[in-house]
Amino acid sequence: MKILFVMPKVGAWATHGIHRSPNQLYAHWAAYVRERGYEDVAVIDGKADQIEMKELIEQVKIKNPDIVVMGEQLHGYGGYGVLRHFKDAAAGIKKALPKAKIILGGLW
């Protein structure tokens, strides 16, 4: 089973200059699923790598995962305003890969 963690490019931190830290929640979740025997785990970090939505969805399509995991800790990326980016990414991924399961989670 292929599990792909996807972080869309979000507009948070606009007033704080350039901030491209990785999504820490994904490190925790990836460690958890690897402990349970899942080895085909990868990440596409659109925020850290500044990947626009169209390209992000194309990269997900190429990886063709069984499960796409998205989410964030509110305090890490500027609060509730990032939800639209996750919603848009989930809709685009579902359109490109209708059989993929999408899991959304985090503090929000």
Core vs surface per residue 51-67: b (16+ CB within 10 A) or e? beeeebbeebeebebeb
CATH class of the domain defined by 3-106: alpha beta
Strands (E), 8-108: 41-45, 67-72, 101-106
pTM of the model: 0.84
In the block, residue with structure tokens 């991924």: 93
Question: Tens digit of pLDDT for each residue in 4-45?
Answer: 999 998 865 555 666 667 777 888 888 899 999 998 999 998
Question: Tens digit of pLDDT for each residue in 76-97?
Answer: 555 566 788 889 999 999 999 9
